[in-house]
Amino acid sequence: MLTALLADIHANREALAACLADAQARGVARHVFLGDYVGYGAEPGWVVDTVMAHVAAGATAILGNHDAAVFDRAADLNDTARITLDWTRDRLGAGQENFLRGLPLTAEAGDRLFVHASAWEPARWDYVTGPAAALRSFEATQHQKTFCGHLHVPEVYHLGRTAKIASFIPAYGTGIPLIPQRRWLAVVGSVGQPRDGVPAASYAVLDEERAMLTYVRAPYDVESAAAKVRAAGLPEVLALRLLQGR
Amino acid sequence: MLARLQQGAVIDGFRLEQELPLAATAAFWRVSQEGSDTPLVMKIPRLEAGANPINIVGFEVEQMILPKLSGPHVPRFVASGSLENPYIVMELIAGQSLKARLPELPLPADEVAAIGVKLAWGLHDIHGQDVNHLDVKPSNVMLRPNGEAVLIDFGFSRHLRLPDILAEEFPGPIGTGAYVAPEQVLGNRTDRRSDIFAMGVLLYFFATGERPFGDPQTARAWRRRLYRDPLPPRARRPDCPPWLQEIILRCLEVDPAGRYPTAAQLAFDLRHPDQVAITARGERIRRSSALGAAARWMRVKPRLPAFAQSGARGLHESPIVMAAVDLVPGQEILAEELRLAVRRILQTQPEARLICVNVLKLSRLALDPTEDEHGRNLHLRRLAELQYWARSLPMPGHGITYHVLEAVDPAAALLDYARHNQVDHIVIGARASSALRRHLGSVSAQVVAEAPCTVTVVRTPRP
């Protein structure tokens, strides 16, 4: 069975719609949403509704730091994020906010752990930016495979039996065999705000039977998404970011 | 760990039938699977204390790469085990490895070339799947009963789109001492031309009975091949033809850029000895003098950092381009258009090799004359015309060759030739459309329909 792993949608309707359509065309049967449904983008309501509908149909969704900041006003966020969050709160209804409030920090299925940022103290939203942070995450869980987002840049860490940790930037479209002799920490890219220089939406597809992980790019109408950000009066930098993928 | 490996034991539905005598790095068992007649083999790594850690990680490498490979030149992947029960089950290849031929060495040149062609086709296939084998040697090459070569043991291999866990765990050079390429000695695992080098070692060994660099066992001793050229094959075997020596020594160039860019181009030369351009390299019967070796080292040394980083261009940048040239009088404009099309291709792909082919059509019934009315050999005349046609083309990086095929069915002959020479791109002219031609079908249409590669069809501009 194929599972789509979707992280950091950030209220980008066009990007999420493109990923969902792409996943459907690939025969994806299950969805795991790895958090950060809101913030930065102009369509938080549509995105949260879409995730809610998928969860109602059996999908898994976990909490991201921007989602938590909707109801936790003490959250530590940068200025741009804070401005969007204030804007976002006014646009979410009680049902949408309650949905976010009810999301778990982690979810697991067999040998797989799903978390927004890192398996190490998930509510601290640690950034897996290098081997040290990856090791913190590996040591915090028994699961062979961990899937997370938060970084907006795809990267795969793996740990061998000699406890040597290494990482690589995945090539799009080539399935990576997540062999049982290693432990894996896959940072899937961002659906709604990629920061690796490629504007196309980024997500990953996991083939559970074959333990094969494939990173995918879904091109979408970036101009429309950026225009909506501008029309909403959100900071210009957020529109530019979408256009440049940085 | 697997509880006990013994005949009759069943692991995940695979029944152990017979242990195969092989390899220190792993146990091999012939296994059967209920409901299947396919002969299978299970490879079980030796993971006990004291096992070589390179082999342990090498098993992981093979576990990642084998499921991603397909086609006749690799064993078909069937299943792999778990963390507790590590194994790989794959197709059991009937036939023998090239190692079985070692007692017969040296082999005659034509036999060496025939083996080389099969191996090169196999390598070209896995290179096209983004994998460098990096441990090409006789024991890792099997020949199927139909003659196709199968590369086995991907434990040292590199998949260019997957993480290189072997290099991450072991910073030093990895390979087999007799066969390892200079850039591998420098830690570079991303250049497919390393496999061309190893093939050169193998061809040298099979042609002379000796390994060109011996069988050094330490990475330090491997470095010698960076600065010392091997004894030319003809110094060991005076009957080794210059064309074979030319091919072998080109494979063994220290600079990867001096070797064949693709295994397909190597196979082409092995199949066409008469077309090999023999340089001083092919005639040499002595190793370079001490002075020559020093001069060579002075040339090579500044380039070592580049070798350590080198990566071959994409396979598609060194294509074999086949121009199917029709030389019938009255079709001069079409032939000119075809030449222009070929010129454009060579200008954008300077690393190409061009094969110019013309078909001398034989009639189905009559006994064909081999000479024209003036007693001139038709075949030679066509060859001269073909060379004349190509006269103004830019010389591609890997040469031009000319071939006249004699056939009753020109399209079938062209297709056959393209298949047997791993042609990447066919350029062919199509004569103006006519009712008769539409009815009978044209040569170009048949070529387009059945070609194993890209085809460009050239037409003359409408008047």
Check which CATH number belongs to the domain holding B20 and give it: 3.30.200.20
Residues B335 and B292 in one domain: no
The pLDDT of residue B23 is above 70? no
Does residue B17 lie in a domain region?
Answer: yes
Closest by CA position to B245, among listed B52, B131, B40, B106: B106
Q: φ and ψ at A224, to 5 degrees?
A: -65, -45
CB-based contact B163 A158, cutoff 8 Å? yes
CB-based contact A160 B165, cutoff 8 Å? yes
**Residue B288 CB-density burial (10 A; 0-12 exposed, 13-18 middle, 19+ buried):** middle
Residues B65 and B182 in one domain: no
User: End of a domain among B300, B315, B330?
Assistant: B315
Give the pLDDT of residue B439: 63
Residues B172 and B261 in one domain: yes
Residues B323 and B311 in one domain: no
Nearest CA to CA, how far is B56 from chain A (Å)?
10
Nearest CA to CA, how far is B314 from chain A (Å)?
16
Gap between the Cα atoms of B323 and B244, Å rounded: 26
CATH for B262: 1.10.510.10
Count of the separate structural domains present in chain B: 3
Residues B425 and B387 in one domain: yes
Gap between the Cα atoms of B187 and B198, Å rounded: 15
The pLDDT of residue A9 is above 60? yes
The chain-wide mean pLDDT, for chain B, equals 89
- Residues on chain A touching B67 (C-beta within 8 angstroms): 177, 210
The pLDDT of residue A128 is above 70? yes
Nearest CA to CA, how far is B53 from chain A (Å)?
9
Comparison of pLDDT for A179 and B372, the residue scoring more:
A179
Residues B146 and B249 in one domain: yes
Q: Give the one of B83, B86, B168 whose C-beta lies nearest to A166's C-beta.
A: B168
CB-based contact B163 A177, cutoff 8 Å? no
Does residue B123 lie in a domain region?
Answer: yes
- Residues on chain A touching B60 (C-beta within 8 angstroms): 160, 179, 181-182
Which tens digit of pLDDT belongs to each residue from A19-55? Answer: 999 999 999 999 999 999 999 999 999 999 999 999 9
B19 token code pair: 């242990």
- Residues on chain A touching B131 (C-beta within 8 angstroms): none
Does residue B302 lie in a domain region?
Answer: yes
The pLDDT of residue A11 is above 80? yes
CB-based contact A182 B163, cutoff 8 Å? no
Gap between the Cα atoms of B117 and B65, Å rounded: 24
CB-based contact B165 A166, cutoff 8 Å? yes
The pLDDT of residue B22 is above 70? no
Taking the Cβ of residue A174 and every Cβ of chain B, the question of whether any pair is shorter than 8 Å is answered with yes
Q: How confident is the model at residue B451 (pLDDT cuts 50, 70, 90)?
A: very high
CB-based contact B64 A156, cutoff 8 Å? no
User: End of a domain among B64, B91, B118?
Assistant: B91
Give the pLDDT of residue B220: 84
CATH for B415: 3.40.50.620
Percent of chain B predicted with pLDDT > 90: 55
Summarize the confidence of residues B397-421 as an average pLDDT. 89
B242-251 helix and B109-127 helix, angle to the nearest 10 degrees: 30
Q: What is the C-alpha end-to-end distance of chain B, expressed in Å? A: 77
Q: φ and ψ at B43, to 5 degrees?
A: -105, 125
Does residue B2 lie in a domain region?
Answer: no
In this prediction the pTM is 0.85
CB-based contact A181 B59, cutoff 8 Å? yes
CATH for A214: 3.60.21.10
DSSP calls for A82-113: HHHHHHHHTT--HHHHHHHHT--SEEEETTEE
Chain A interface test: which of B12, B66, B162, B189 (most A C-beta within 10 Å): B162
Domain ranges, residue B269: 98-315
Percent of chain A predicted with pLDDT > 90: 88
Instruction: List, in sequence order, the alpha helices (H) in chain A.
Output: 13-25, 44-56, 65-71, 79-89, 94-101, 131-139, 222-231, 236-244
Residues B67 and B115 in one domain: no
- Residues on chain A touching B86 (C-beta within 8 angstroms): 180-181
- Residues on chain B touching A182 (C-beta within 8 angstroms): 60, 165
The chain-wide mean pLDDT, for chain A, equals 94
The pLDDT of residue B29 is above 80? yes
CB-based contact B161 A174, cutoff 8 Å? yes
Does residue B4 lie in a domain region?
Answer: no
Gap between the Cα atoms of B278 and B275, Å rounded: 9
Comparison of pLDDT for B136 and A164, the residue scoring more:
B136
Residues B78 and B122 in one domain: no
- Residues on chain B touching A210 (C-beta within 8 angstroms): 67
Query: Closest residue of A to B88, CA-based?
Result: A179
Gap between the Cα atoms of B44 and B57, Å rounded: 13
CB-based contact B60 A168, cutoff 8 Å? no
Neighbours of B207 (CB within 10 A): 28
Percent of chain A predicted with pLDDT > 70: 100
Q: Give the one of A156, A167, A181 whose C-beta lies nearest to B83's C-beta.
A: A181
Residues B26 and B113 in one domain: no
A6 token code pair: 């979707």
Give the pLDDT of residue B368: 65
Count of the separate structural domains present in chain A: 1
Summarize the confidence of residues B16-27 as an average pLDDT. 81
Query: Closest residue of B to A168, CA-based?
Result: B163
Taking the Cβ of residue A169 and every Cβ of chain B, the question of whether any pair is shorter than 8 Å is answered with no
Name which of A150-164, A175-189, A214-228, B284-298 the model is least confident about: B284-298
The pLDDT of residue B2 is above 60? no
Gap between the Cα atoms of B463 and B453, Å rounded: 31
Nearest CA to CA, how far is A161 from chain B (Å)?
9
User: End of a domain among B33, B65, B91?
Assistant: B91
Residues B180 and B293 in one domain: yes
Which tens digit of pLDDT belongs to each residue from B431-449? Answer: 876 666 666 668 999 999 9
| Window 175-234 of A, Cβ < 8 Å to B | 175-177, 179-182, 210
Residues B301 and B331 in one domain: no
Residues B305 and B362 in one domain: no
Which tens digit of pLDDT belongs to each residue from B190-211? Answer: 999 999 999 999 999 999 999 9
| Window 135-164 of A, Cβ < 8 Å to B | 144, 156, 158, 160-162, 164
Percent of chain B predicted with pLDDT > 70: 93
Domain ranges, residue A134: 2-244
